[in-house]
Amino acid sequence: MSSPRNVTTESLGVKILLIGSACAVLILFLVLPLIAVFTEAFRQGAKVFMDALTEPAAMSAIKLTLITAAITVPLNTVFGLAAAWLVTKFRFRGRSLLLSLIDLPFAVSPVIAGLVWMLVVGSKGWLGPWLSDHNLQIAFDTPGIVIATIFVTFPFVARELIPLMETQGTDEEEAAVTLGARGWQVFLHVTLPNIKWGLLYGVLLCNARAMGEFGAVSVISGHIRGKTNTLPLQVEVLYNEYQSSAAFACASLLALLALLTLGLKTLIERIAGHTGAKGH
Amino acid sequence: MSRRRIIPGFGLSLGYTITYLSVIILIPLLALFLKASKVGWDDWVKILTSRQLVAAAKLSFGASALAALLSSFLGLLIAWVLVRYRFPGRRLFDAVVDLPFALPTAVAGITLTQIYNYKGWIGQYIAQAAGWLKTHHDPGGWLGDRLGEWAEKGAAYSSLGVFIALLFIGLPFVVRTLQPVMEELPKDIEEAAACLGAKRWTIFRRVIFPAILPALITGFTLAFARAVGEYGSVIFISGNLPLKTEILPSLIIAQLEQFKYETAAVIAAAMLIVSFALLFLINLLQRRLNWRTR
Protein backbone atom coordinates (compact mmCIF):
# COMPACT_ATOMS: atom_id res chain seq x y z
CA MET A 1 0.00 0.00 0.00
CA SER A 2 1.29 3.45 -0.79
CA SER A 3 -0.77 5.21 1.85
CA PRO A 4 1.06 7.81 3.96
CA ARG A 5 2.99 6.50 6.93
CA ASN A 6 0.61 5.69 9.77
CA VAL A 7 1.51 8.01 12.63
CA THR A 8 -0.27 5.97 15.29
CA THR A 9 1.80 2.83 15.04
CA GLU A 10 5.42 1.81 15.44
CA SER A 11 8.09 1.02 12.86
CA LEU A 12 8.27 -2.57 11.61
CA GLY A 13 11.42 -3.32 13.59
CA VAL A 14 9.92 -2.18 16.90
CA LYS A 15 6.73 -4.11 16.12
CA ILE A 16 8.61 -7.34 15.49
CA LEU A 17 10.66 -6.84 18.63
CA LEU A 18 7.55 -6.27 20.77
CA ILE A 19 5.56 -9.13 19.24
CA GLY A 20 8.56 -11.42 19.59
CA SER A 21 9.16 -10.66 23.24
CA ALA A 22 5.45 -10.88 24.17
CA CYS A 23 5.14 -14.26 22.47
CA ALA A 24 8.38 -15.45 24.07
CA VAL A 25 7.03 -14.55 27.52
CA LEU A 26 3.76 -16.36 26.82
CA ILE A 27 5.49 -19.48 25.48
CA LEU A 28 8.16 -19.74 28.18
CA PHE A 29 5.83 -18.83 30.96
CA LEU A 30 2.43 -20.30 30.13
CA VAL A 31 2.72 -22.78 27.27
CA LEU A 32 5.82 -24.58 28.55
CA PRO A 33 4.18 -25.67 31.85
CA LEU A 34 1.23 -27.04 29.89
CA ILE A 35 3.55 -29.14 27.71
CA ALA A 36 5.47 -30.25 30.80
CA VAL A 37 2.32 -31.67 32.45
CA PHE A 38 1.71 -34.08 29.59
CA THR A 39 5.39 -34.94 29.08
CA GLU A 40 5.77 -35.84 32.75
CA ALA A 41 2.50 -37.79 32.77
CA PHE A 42 3.70 -40.11 30.00
CA ARG A 43 7.33 -40.28 31.11
CA GLN A 44 7.01 -43.89 32.31
CA GLY A 45 4.76 -44.96 29.50
CA ALA A 46 1.05 -45.28 28.84
CA LYS A 47 0.57 -48.19 31.22
CA VAL A 48 1.74 -46.29 34.31
CA PHE A 49 -0.46 -43.44 33.15
CA MET A 50 -3.56 -45.60 32.84
CA ASP A 51 -2.86 -47.46 36.09
CA ALA A 52 -2.55 -44.15 37.95
CA LEU A 53 -5.97 -43.06 36.71
CA THR A 54 -7.79 -46.34 37.27
CA GLU A 55 -6.55 -47.17 40.77
CA PRO A 56 -9.36 -46.95 43.37
CA ALA A 57 -8.02 -43.85 45.15
CA ALA A 58 -7.85 -41.93 41.87
CA MET A 59 -11.31 -43.08 40.82
CA SER A 60 -12.84 -41.99 44.11
CA ALA A 61 -10.99 -38.65 43.85
CA ILE A 62 -12.44 -38.10 40.38
CA LYS A 63 -15.90 -39.00 41.68
CA LEU A 64 -15.63 -36.61 44.64
CA THR A 65 -14.41 -33.82 42.38
CA LEU A 66 -17.39 -34.31 40.07
CA ILE A 67 -19.86 -34.43 42.98
CA THR A 68 -18.39 -31.23 44.44
CA ALA A 69 -18.72 -29.36 41.16
CA ALA A 70 -22.22 -30.76 40.57
CA ILE A 71 -23.43 -29.23 43.85
CA THR A 72 -21.34 -26.06 43.91
CA VAL A 73 -21.91 -24.78 40.39
CA PRO A 74 -25.76 -24.82 40.36
CA LEU A 75 -25.94 -23.19 43.82
CA ASN A 76 -23.57 -20.38 42.86
CA THR A 77 -25.34 -19.97 39.52
CA VAL A 78 -28.70 -19.40 41.22
CA PHE A 79 -27.03 -16.97 43.60
CA GLY A 80 -25.29 -15.20 40.72
CA LEU A 81 -28.59 -14.73 38.90
CA ALA A 82 -30.39 -13.47 42.01
CA ALA A 83 -27.59 -11.09 42.98
CA ALA A 84 -27.18 -9.74 39.45
CA TRP A 85 -30.95 -9.23 39.14
CA LEU A 86 -30.98 -7.38 42.45
CA VAL A 87 -28.09 -4.98 41.84
CA THR A 88 -28.77 -4.25 38.17
CA LYS A 89 -32.56 -3.96 38.06
CA PHE A 90 -33.01 -1.98 41.28
CA ARG A 91 -31.40 0.99 43.01
CA PHE A 92 -31.44 0.80 46.79
CA ARG A 93 -29.49 1.92 49.82
CA GLY A 94 -26.41 -0.23 50.52
CA ARG A 95 -26.14 -1.35 46.91
CA SER A 96 -22.46 -0.45 46.52
CA LEU A 97 -21.67 -2.11 49.85
CA LEU A 98 -23.37 -5.25 48.58
CA LEU A 99 -21.30 -5.10 45.39
CA SER A 100 -18.09 -5.02 47.43
CA LEU A 101 -19.28 -7.86 49.65
CA ILE A 102 -19.97 -10.06 46.61
CA ASP A 103 -16.34 -9.52 45.55
CA LEU A 104 -15.04 -10.18 49.05
CA PRO A 105 -14.05 -13.86 48.54
CA PHE A 106 -11.56 -12.76 45.86
CA ALA A 107 -9.59 -10.92 48.53
CA VAL A 108 -9.65 -13.83 50.98
CA SER A 109 -6.95 -16.50 50.74
CA PRO A 110 -8.41 -19.95 49.97
CA VAL A 111 -6.61 -21.23 53.07
CA ILE A 112 -8.48 -18.66 55.16
CA ALA A 113 -11.74 -19.69 53.44
CA GLY A 114 -11.14 -23.24 54.63
CA LEU A 115 -10.13 -22.02 58.09
CA VAL A 116 -13.25 -19.88 58.69
CA TRP A 117 -15.47 -22.85 57.88
CA MET A 118 -13.40 -25.09 60.16
CA LEU A 119 -14.12 -22.58 62.93
CA VAL A 120 -17.85 -23.06 62.29
CA VAL A 121 -18.20 -26.79 61.62
CA GLY A 122 -14.95 -28.27 62.98
CA SER A 123 -15.01 -30.35 66.18
CA LYS A 124 -14.00 -27.27 68.21
CA GLY A 125 -16.09 -24.91 66.09
CA TRP A 126 -19.39 -23.12 66.83
CA LEU A 127 -21.57 -25.95 65.59
CA GLY A 128 -19.06 -28.68 66.45
CA PRO A 129 -20.73 -30.03 69.65
CA TRP A 130 -24.24 -29.85 68.15
CA LEU A 131 -23.12 -31.63 64.98
CA SER A 132 -21.44 -34.45 66.88
CA ASP A 133 -24.54 -34.83 69.12
CA HIS A 134 -26.59 -35.39 66.01
CA ASN A 135 -23.98 -37.63 64.37
CA LEU A 136 -23.46 -35.20 61.53
CA GLN A 137 -20.04 -34.94 59.93
CA ILE A 138 -19.27 -31.85 57.87
CA ALA A 139 -15.58 -31.10 58.34
CA PHE A 140 -13.27 -33.87 57.04
CA ASP A 141 -16.10 -35.05 54.80
CA THR A 142 -17.86 -34.26 51.54
CA PRO A 143 -20.21 -31.52 52.89
CA GLY A 144 -17.23 -29.56 54.23
CA ILE A 145 -15.43 -29.83 50.91
CA VAL A 146 -18.54 -28.62 49.10
CA ILE A 147 -19.05 -25.65 51.44
CA ALA A 148 -15.42 -24.53 51.22
CA THR A 149 -15.62 -24.77 47.44
CA ILE A 150 -18.83 -22.71 47.41
CA PHE A 151 -17.03 -20.00 49.43
CA VAL A 152 -14.11 -19.82 47.01
CA THR A 153 -16.19 -19.86 43.80
CA PHE A 154 -18.93 -17.63 45.23
CA PRO A 155 -18.46 -14.49 43.04
CA PHE A 156 -17.73 -16.08 39.65
CA VAL A 157 -21.20 -16.12 38.05
CA ALA A 158 -22.36 -12.87 39.67
CA ARG A 159 -19.16 -11.11 38.58
CA GLU A 160 -19.74 -12.10 34.94
CA LEU A 161 -23.45 -11.18 34.92
CA ILE A 162 -23.42 -7.84 36.75
CA PRO A 163 -21.48 -5.75 34.18
CA LEU A 164 -23.40 -7.41 31.34
CA MET A 165 -26.86 -6.80 32.82
CA GLU A 166 -25.85 -3.29 33.85
CA THR A 167 -25.22 -2.29 30.22
CA GLN A 168 -28.51 -3.85 29.12
CA GLY A 169 -30.54 -1.69 31.46
CA THR A 170 -34.15 -2.32 32.40
CA ASP A 171 -36.12 -1.05 29.39
CA GLU A 172 -36.96 -4.44 27.92
CA GLU A 173 -38.09 -5.86 31.27
CA GLU A 174 -40.23 -2.80 31.97
CA ALA A 175 -41.85 -3.11 28.55
CA ALA A 176 -42.62 -6.78 29.20
CA VAL A 177 -44.20 -6.00 32.58
CA THR A 178 -46.29 -3.21 31.05
CA LEU A 179 -47.56 -5.68 28.46
CA GLY A 180 -48.70 -7.93 31.29
CA ALA A 181 -45.90 -10.48 31.65
CA ARG A 182 -45.45 -12.17 35.04
CA GLY A 183 -42.15 -12.08 36.90
CA TRP A 184 -40.89 -15.49 35.80
CA GLN A 185 -42.02 -14.90 32.24
CA VAL A 186 -40.01 -11.69 32.14
CA PHE A 187 -36.95 -13.51 33.39
CA LEU A 188 -37.27 -16.55 31.14
CA HIS A 189 -38.30 -14.85 27.90
CA VAL A 190 -36.68 -11.41 28.13
CA THR A 191 -33.67 -11.42 30.44
CA LEU A 192 -32.32 -14.94 30.02
CA PRO A 193 -31.96 -14.83 26.20
CA ASN A 194 -30.02 -11.59 26.58
CA ILE A 195 -27.55 -12.93 29.11
CA LYS A 196 -27.24 -16.60 28.11
CA TRP A 197 -23.66 -16.37 26.79
CA GLY A 198 -22.42 -14.36 29.74
CA LEU A 199 -24.14 -16.82 32.06
CA LEU A 200 -22.53 -19.79 30.33
CA TYR A 201 -19.17 -18.05 30.56
CA GLY A 202 -19.56 -17.50 34.29
CA VAL A 203 -20.67 -21.10 34.84
CA LEU A 204 -17.62 -22.31 32.91
CA LEU A 205 -15.17 -20.30 35.04
CA CYS A 206 -16.99 -21.29 38.24
CA ASN A 207 -16.79 -24.96 37.25
CA ALA A 208 -13.08 -24.81 36.39
CA ARG A 209 -12.28 -23.29 39.76
CA ALA A 210 -14.63 -25.65 41.64
CA MET A 211 -12.94 -28.73 40.17
CA GLY A 212 -9.46 -27.35 40.66
CA GLU A 213 -9.74 -25.73 44.10
CA PHE A 214 -6.88 -26.74 46.34
CA GLY A 215 -6.17 -24.49 49.34
CA ALA A 216 -9.63 -24.30 50.91
CA VAL A 217 -10.35 -27.97 50.31
CA SER A 218 -6.94 -28.91 51.62
CA VAL A 219 -7.74 -27.31 55.00
CA ILE A 220 -11.21 -28.79 55.48
CA SER A 221 -10.87 -32.25 53.89
CA GLY A 222 -8.57 -33.89 56.44
CA HIS A 223 -6.83 -35.69 53.57
CA ILE A 224 -8.46 -39.07 54.08
CA ARG A 225 -7.28 -41.15 51.16
CA GLY A 226 -9.96 -42.77 49.02
CA LYS A 227 -12.59 -40.87 50.99
CA THR A 228 -12.03 -37.12 51.17
CA ASN A 229 -9.38 -36.55 48.52
CA THR A 230 -10.44 -34.54 45.51
CA LEU A 231 -8.38 -34.80 42.35
CA PRO A 232 -6.11 -31.82 43.16
CA LEU A 233 -5.49 -33.28 46.64
CA GLN A 234 -4.74 -36.66 45.10
CA VAL A 235 -2.14 -34.92 42.92
CA GLU A 236 -0.51 -33.52 46.05
CA VAL A 237 -0.51 -36.85 47.90
CA LEU A 238 1.07 -38.71 44.97
CA TYR A 239 3.62 -35.97 44.37
CA ASN A 240 4.68 -35.92 48.02
CA GLU A 241 5.07 -39.71 47.91
CA TYR A 242 7.51 -39.28 45.00
CA GLN A 243 5.12 -40.99 42.59
CA SER A 244 5.80 -38.24 40.10
CA SER A 245 4.38 -39.92 36.98
CA ALA A 246 1.15 -40.89 38.75
CA ALA A 247 0.82 -37.34 40.14
CA PHE A 248 1.26 -35.86 36.69
CA ALA A 249 -1.19 -38.38 35.22
CA CYS A 250 -3.89 -37.05 37.56
CA ALA A 251 -2.65 -33.51 36.91
CA SER A 252 -2.99 -34.06 33.15
CA LEU A 253 -6.72 -34.77 33.62
CA LEU A 254 -7.07 -31.40 35.32
CA ALA A 255 -4.96 -29.79 32.60
CA LEU A 256 -7.34 -31.25 30.02
CA LEU A 257 -10.19 -29.66 31.95
CA ALA A 258 -8.33 -26.33 31.76
CA LEU A 259 -7.81 -26.72 28.00
CA LEU A 260 -11.46 -27.60 27.52
CA THR A 261 -12.47 -24.54 29.54
CA LEU A 262 -10.24 -22.26 27.48
CA GLY A 263 -11.51 -23.78 24.23
CA LEU A 264 -15.17 -23.33 25.16
CA LYS A 265 -14.47 -19.84 26.45
CA THR A 266 -12.89 -18.83 23.14
CA LEU A 267 -15.83 -20.38 21.30
CA ILE A 268 -18.35 -18.46 23.40
CA GLU A 269 -16.45 -15.22 22.84
CA ARG A 270 -16.53 -15.79 19.13
CA ILE A 271 -20.24 -16.60 19.03
CA ALA A 272 -21.34 -13.88 21.38
CA GLY A 273 -18.74 -11.25 20.58
CA HIS A 274 -18.29 -11.09 24.31
CA THR A 275 -14.84 -9.68 25.00
CA GLY A 276 -12.66 -8.36 27.72
CA ALA A 277 -14.31 -10.07 30.65
CA LYS A 278 -12.17 -10.23 33.73
CA GLY A 279 -11.79 -13.78 34.94
CA HIS A 280 -10.38 -14.86 38.26
CA MET B 1 -38.19 5.65 48.24
CA SER B 2 -41.31 6.96 46.61
CA ARG B 3 -41.15 5.61 43.09
CA ARG B 4 -42.95 2.30 42.74
CA ARG B 5 -40.79 -0.46 41.34
CA ILE B 6 -42.11 -1.76 38.04
CA ILE B 7 -39.87 -4.81 37.72
CA PRO B 8 -40.86 -7.63 40.07
CA GLY B 9 -38.64 -9.71 42.31
CA PHE B 10 -37.00 -7.09 44.52
CA GLY B 11 -37.97 -8.73 47.80
CA LEU B 12 -37.18 -12.25 46.66
CA SER B 13 -33.77 -11.46 45.17
CA LEU B 14 -32.84 -9.20 48.10
CA GLY B 15 -33.78 -11.82 50.67
CA TYR B 16 -32.07 -14.64 48.83
CA THR B 17 -28.87 -12.69 48.12
CA ILE B 18 -28.47 -11.42 51.68
CA THR B 19 -29.22 -14.83 53.24
CA TYR B 20 -26.85 -16.76 50.98
CA LEU B 21 -24.10 -14.13 51.37
CA SER B 22 -24.45 -14.16 55.15
CA VAL B 23 -24.50 -17.92 55.56
CA ILE B 24 -21.62 -18.70 53.19
CA ILE B 25 -19.32 -15.71 53.64
CA LEU B 26 -20.17 -13.24 56.39
CA ILE B 27 -21.02 -15.45 59.38
CA PRO B 28 -17.95 -17.68 58.94
CA LEU B 29 -15.75 -14.59 58.62
CA LEU B 30 -17.35 -13.29 61.80
CA ALA B 31 -16.45 -16.61 63.47
CA LEU B 32 -12.84 -15.98 62.51
CA PHE B 33 -12.71 -12.50 64.00
CA LEU B 34 -14.54 -13.63 67.15
CA LYS B 35 -12.07 -16.46 67.59
CA ALA B 36 -9.15 -14.08 67.08
CA SER B 37 -10.64 -11.52 69.47
CA LYS B 38 -10.72 -14.10 72.27
CA VAL B 39 -6.94 -14.16 72.17
CA GLY B 40 -5.50 -11.53 74.50
CA TRP B 41 -3.58 -8.49 73.25
CA ASP B 42 -0.26 -9.78 74.59
CA ASP B 43 -0.67 -13.05 72.73
CA TRP B 44 -1.53 -11.18 69.53
CA VAL B 45 1.73 -9.28 69.83
CA LYS B 46 3.63 -12.46 70.67
CA ILE B 47 2.18 -14.34 67.68
CA LEU B 48 2.63 -11.49 65.24
CA THR B 49 6.22 -10.71 66.23
CA SER B 50 7.49 -14.28 66.25
CA ARG B 51 10.49 -14.77 63.98
CA GLN B 52 8.70 -17.33 61.84
CA LEU B 53 5.74 -15.05 61.22
CA VAL B 54 7.82 -11.97 60.45
CA ALA B 55 9.87 -13.96 57.93
CA ALA B 56 6.72 -15.40 56.31
CA ALA B 57 5.01 -11.99 56.17
CA LYS B 58 8.07 -10.37 54.57
CA LEU B 59 8.20 -13.10 51.95
CA SER B 60 4.44 -13.14 51.28
CA PHE B 61 3.99 -9.39 50.91
CA GLY B 62 7.44 -8.74 49.40
CA ALA B 63 7.32 -11.48 46.75
CA SER B 64 3.69 -10.62 45.94
CA ALA B 65 4.50 -6.93 45.41
CA LEU B 66 7.54 -7.70 43.25
CA ALA B 67 5.65 -10.33 41.25
CA ALA B 68 2.68 -7.99 40.71
CA LEU B 69 5.10 -5.26 39.61
CA LEU B 70 6.78 -7.45 37.01
CA SER B 71 3.32 -8.80 36.00
CA SER B 72 2.28 -5.20 35.34
CA PHE B 73 5.25 -4.62 33.08
CA LEU B 74 4.96 -7.90 31.16
CA GLY B 75 1.15 -7.64 31.14
CA LEU B 76 1.37 -4.20 29.56
CA LEU B 77 3.69 -5.57 26.86
CA ILE B 78 1.37 -8.51 26.13
CA ALA B 79 -1.83 -6.45 26.16
CA TRP B 80 -0.20 -3.88 23.87
CA VAL B 81 0.84 -6.51 21.33
CA LEU B 82 -2.52 -8.32 21.44
CA VAL B 83 -4.59 -5.15 21.06
CA ARG B 84 -2.50 -3.13 18.62
CA TYR B 85 -0.89 -5.59 16.24
CA ARG B 86 -2.24 -8.25 13.90
CA PHE B 87 0.00 -11.29 13.46
CA PRO B 88 -0.45 -15.00 12.82
CA GLY B 89 -1.41 -16.91 15.98
CA ARG B 90 -2.71 -13.83 17.75
CA ARG B 91 -6.01 -15.46 18.75
CA LEU B 92 -4.19 -18.51 20.09
CA PHE B 93 -1.85 -16.38 22.18
CA ASP B 94 -4.84 -14.40 23.39
CA ALA B 95 -6.52 -17.61 24.58
CA VAL B 96 -3.33 -18.81 26.28
CA VAL B 97 -3.29 -15.74 28.55
CA ASP B 98 -6.17 -17.21 30.58
CA LEU B 99 -4.34 -20.45 31.29
CA PRO B 100 -3.37 -19.57 34.88
CA PHE B 101 -7.08 -18.87 35.61
CA ALA B 102 -8.14 -22.24 34.23
CA LEU B 103 -5.28 -24.46 35.37
CA PRO B 104 -5.81 -25.77 38.93
CA THR B 105 -3.20 -24.29 41.24
CA ALA B 106 -1.86 -27.65 42.44
CA VAL B 107 -1.17 -28.62 38.84
CA ALA B 108 0.60 -25.32 38.23
CA GLY B 109 2.56 -25.87 41.45
CA ILE B 110 4.01 -29.28 40.67
CA THR B 111 4.63 -28.37 37.03
CA LEU B 112 6.51 -25.16 37.82
CA THR B 113 8.60 -27.11 40.34
CA GLN B 114 9.45 -29.62 37.65
CA ILE B 115 10.45 -26.93 35.15
CA TYR B 116 12.43 -24.70 37.49
CA ASN B 117 14.37 -27.19 39.64
CA TYR B 118 18.11 -27.56 38.90
CA LYS B 119 17.47 -30.37 36.41
CA GLY B 120 14.35 -28.81 34.85
CA TRP B 121 13.87 -27.35 31.37
CA ILE B 122 14.48 -23.77 32.55
CA GLY B 123 15.90 -24.39 36.02
CA GLN B 124 19.14 -25.91 34.68
CA TYR B 125 19.95 -22.70 32.80
CA ILE B 126 19.11 -20.58 35.83
CA ALA B 127 21.44 -22.76 37.89
CA GLN B 128 24.23 -22.50 35.30
CA ALA B 129 23.85 -18.74 34.94
CA ALA B 130 23.81 -18.25 38.71
CA GLY B 131 26.86 -20.48 39.07
CA TRP B 132 28.75 -18.56 36.40
CA LEU B 133 27.87 -15.20 37.95
CA LYS B 134 28.82 -16.47 41.39
CA THR B 135 32.31 -17.57 40.28
CA HIS B 136 33.08 -14.65 37.97
CA HIS B 137 31.29 -11.62 39.39
CA ASP B 138 30.33 -12.50 42.96
CA PRO B 139 28.49 -9.42 44.26
CA GLY B 140 28.66 -10.79 47.83
CA GLY B 141 26.09 -10.01 50.51
CA TRP B 142 22.45 -11.03 50.15
CA LEU B 143 22.57 -11.35 46.37
CA GLY B 144 25.75 -13.39 46.54
CA ASP B 145 24.11 -15.83 48.93
CA ARG B 146 21.08 -16.09 46.66
CA LEU B 147 23.26 -16.77 43.60
CA GLY B 148 24.92 -19.60 45.49
CA GLU B 149 21.51 -20.97 46.39
CA TRP B 150 20.20 -20.79 42.81
CA ALA B 151 23.38 -22.32 41.40
CA GLU B 152 22.81 -25.31 43.65
CA LYS B 153 19.03 -25.75 43.47
CA GLY B 154 17.84 -23.89 40.40
CA ALA B 155 14.88 -21.62 41.08
CA ALA B 156 12.87 -24.22 43.00
CA TYR B 157 12.91 -24.40 46.81
CA SER B 158 14.00 -20.77 47.11
CA SER B 159 12.31 -17.40 47.33
CA LEU B 160 12.89 -17.05 43.58
CA GLY B 161 10.55 -20.02 43.10
CA VAL B 162 7.86 -18.30 45.17
CA PHE B 163 8.28 -15.21 43.01
CA ILE B 164 8.01 -17.21 39.76
CA ALA B 165 4.82 -18.98 40.90
CA LEU B 166 3.22 -15.65 41.90
CA LEU B 167 4.22 -14.13 38.57
CA PHE B 168 2.50 -17.02 36.77
CA ILE B 169 -0.67 -16.49 38.79
CA GLY B 170 -0.70 -12.69 38.46
CA LEU B 171 0.04 -12.15 34.77
CA PRO B 172 -3.49 -12.68 33.35
CA PHE B 173 -5.05 -10.20 35.79
CA VAL B 174 -3.02 -7.34 34.31
CA VAL B 175 -3.53 -8.36 30.68
CA ARG B 176 -7.30 -8.83 31.07
CA THR B 177 -7.74 -5.53 32.92
CA LEU B 178 -5.73 -3.55 30.36
CA GLN B 179 -7.15 -5.07 27.17
CA PRO B 180 -10.65 -3.53 27.17
CA VAL B 181 -9.30 -0.11 28.18
CA MET B 182 -6.66 -0.14 25.45
CA GLU B 183 -9.20 -1.22 22.85
CA GLU B 184 -11.35 1.81 23.62
CA LEU B 185 -8.46 4.28 23.56
CA PRO B 186 -9.35 6.94 20.94
CA LYS B 187 -6.88 7.14 18.06
CA ASP B 188 -7.44 10.82 17.37
CA ILE B 189 -5.54 12.11 20.41
CA GLU B 190 -2.53 10.13 19.27
CA GLU B 191 -2.91 11.58 15.78
CA ALA B 192 -3.19 15.06 17.21
CA ALA B 193 -0.03 14.53 19.25
CA ALA B 194 1.79 13.26 16.17
CA CYS B 195 0.63 16.28 14.15
CA LEU B 196 2.06 18.49 16.86
CA GLY B 197 5.39 16.79 16.25
CA ALA B 198 5.56 14.37 19.17
CA LYS B 199 7.73 11.30 18.70
CA ARG B 200 6.18 7.86 19.18
CA TRP B 201 7.86 7.30 22.55
CA THR B 202 6.73 10.73 23.78
CA ILE B 203 3.16 9.92 22.70
CA PHE B 204 3.30 6.69 24.66
CA ARG B 205 4.69 8.37 27.74
CA ARG B 206 2.57 11.52 27.72
CA VAL B 207 -0.67 10.44 26.03
CA ILE B 208 -1.23 6.68 26.17
CA PHE B 209 0.36 5.77 29.49
CA PRO B 210 -1.61 8.30 31.61
CA ALA B 211 -4.85 7.01 30.03
CA ILE B 212 -4.17 3.38 30.89
CA LEU B 213 -2.49 3.97 34.27
CA PRO B 214 -5.70 3.52 36.33
CA ALA B 215 -6.35 0.15 34.63
CA LEU B 216 -2.73 -0.81 35.16
CA ILE B 217 -3.07 -0.07 38.87
CA THR B 218 -6.27 -2.13 39.02
CA GLY B 219 -4.46 -5.02 37.36
CA PHE B 220 -1.55 -4.67 39.78
CA THR B 221 -3.96 -4.68 42.73
CA LEU B 222 -5.82 -7.78 41.55
CA ALA B 223 -2.55 -9.62 40.91
CA PHE B 224 -1.19 -8.54 44.30
CA ALA B 225 -4.33 -9.52 46.24
CA ARG B 226 -4.41 -12.92 44.59
CA ALA B 227 -0.68 -13.46 45.18
CA VAL B 228 -0.80 -12.70 48.90
CA GLY B 229 -3.40 -15.41 49.48
CA GLU B 230 -2.08 -17.89 46.92
CA TYR B 231 -1.32 -21.36 48.26
CA GLY B 232 -1.52 -24.21 45.75
CA SER B 233 0.91 -23.00 43.12
CA VAL B 234 3.45 -21.81 45.70
CA ILE B 235 3.84 -24.58 48.27
CA PHE B 236 5.39 -27.13 45.93
CA ILE B 237 7.98 -24.82 44.40
CA SER B 238 8.77 -23.08 47.69
CA GLY B 239 9.64 -26.27 49.56
CA ASN B 240 8.14 -24.67 52.69
CA LEU B 241 11.33 -24.14 54.65
CA PRO B 242 10.50 -22.25 57.88
CA LEU B 243 12.15 -18.79 58.06
CA LYS B 244 13.25 -19.12 54.44
CA THR B 245 10.54 -20.02 51.95
CA GLU B 246 7.44 -20.34 54.11
CA ILE B 247 4.54 -18.10 53.02
CA LEU B 248 1.75 -16.86 55.30
CA PRO B 249 -0.97 -19.28 54.08
CA SER B 250 1.29 -22.28 54.68
CA LEU B 251 2.11 -20.93 58.14
CA ILE B 252 -1.65 -20.96 58.85
CA ILE B 253 -1.86 -24.57 57.66
CA ALA B 254 1.09 -25.48 59.89
CA GLN B 255 -0.80 -24.08 62.92
CA LEU B 256 -3.92 -26.05 61.98
CA GLU B 257 -1.94 -29.27 61.73
CA GLN B 258 -0.91 -28.72 65.36
CA PHE B 259 -4.55 -27.92 66.26
CA LYS B 260 -3.55 -24.36 67.27
CA TYR B 261 -6.82 -22.83 66.06
CA GLU B 262 -6.38 -19.59 68.02
CA THR B 263 -2.95 -18.89 66.55
CA ALA B 264 -4.21 -19.70 63.05
CA ALA B 265 -7.19 -17.37 63.56
CA VAL B 266 -4.95 -14.51 64.73
CA ILE B 267 -2.61 -14.86 61.74
CA ALA B 268 -5.56 -15.08 59.33
CA ALA B 269 -7.34 -12.08 60.90
CA ALA B 270 -4.16 -9.98 60.76
CA MET B 271 -3.60 -11.02 57.16
CA LEU B 272 -7.15 -10.03 56.18
CA ILE B 273 -6.88 -6.68 57.98
CA VAL B 274 -3.58 -5.83 56.26
CA SER B 275 -4.88 -6.96 52.84
CA PHE B 276 -8.09 -4.95 53.16
CA ALA B 277 -6.17 -1.89 54.33
CA LEU B 278 -3.78 -2.14 51.36
CA LEU B 279 -6.65 -2.63 48.90
CA PHE B 280 -8.41 0.38 50.40
CA LEU B 281 -5.28 2.55 50.10
CA ILE B 282 -4.71 1.56 46.48
CA ASN B 283 -8.38 2.28 45.75
CA LEU B 284 -7.99 5.73 47.30
CA LEU B 285 -4.85 6.43 45.26
CA GLN B 286 -6.69 5.41 42.13
CA ARG B 287 -9.62 7.71 42.82
CA ARG B 288 -7.27 10.66 43.18
CA LEU B 289 -5.56 9.67 39.96
CA ASN B 290 -8.87 9.36 38.11
CA TRP B 291 -9.94 12.70 39.44
CA ARG B 292 -6.71 14.38 38.33
CA THR B 293 -6.71 13.03 34.79
CA ARG B 294 -10.36 13.80 34.23
Buried b (16+ CB within 10 A) or exposed e, A36-63: bbbebbeebeeebbeebbebebbebbbe
Cβ–Cβ below 8 Å for A31 and B24: no
**Predicted confidence (pLDDT) at residue B140 exceeds the cutoff of 90:** no
ipTM of the complex: 0.91
Mean pLDDT in chain B?
91
pTM for this entry: 0.92
Instruction: Using a pLDDT cut of 90, give the percent of chain A over it.
Output: 71
**Predicted confidence (pLDDT) at residue A186 exceeds the cutoff of 70:** yes
Cβ–Cβ below 8 Å for B87 and A248: no
What is the rounded CA–CA span in Å between residue A74 and residue A103?
A: 19
A159/B contact by beta carbon, under 8 A: no
Residues of A within 8 A of B19 (CB-CB) are none
A150/B contact by beta carbon, under 8 A: yes
Average pLDDT over residues B187-202: 87
Domain ranges of chain B: 38-117+155-293
Residues of B within 8 A of A26 (CB-CB) are 78, 93, 96-97
Best mutation target, A108, A162, A204, to test chain B (most B CBs within 10 A): A108
Cβ–Cβ below 8 Å for B93 and A25: no
Measured in whole angstroms, how far is the alpha carbon of residue A223 from the centre of its chain? 22
Instruction: Using a pLDDT cut of 70, give the percent of chain A over it.
Output: 93
Amino acid B186: pLDDT: 86
Best mutation target, B13, B37, B110, to test chain A (most A CBs within 10 A): B110
Residues of A within 8 A of B183 (CB-CB) are 275-276
Average pLDDT over residues A219-243: 88
| Extended strands (E) in B139-268 | none
CA-based diameter of chain B, in Å?
78
* Strand-pair partners of A256: none
For chain A, state the CA radius of gyration. 23
Cβ–Cβ below 8 Å for B171 and A124: no
**Predicted confidence (pLDDT) at residue A278 exceeds the cutoff of 60:** no
Residues of B within 8 A of A41 (CB-CB) are none
Residues of A within 8 A of B230 (CB-CB) are 109
Amino acid B291: pLDDT: 67
Q: What is the CATH number of domain B38-117+155-293?
A: 1.10.3720.10
CB pairs < 8 Å spanning A and B: 288
A205/B contact by beta carbon, under 8 A: yes
Instruction: Using a pLDDT cut of 90, give the percent of chain B over it.
Output: 68
Is the CB of residue A278 less than 8 Å from the CB of residue A160?
A: no
A242/B contact by beta carbon, under 8 A: no
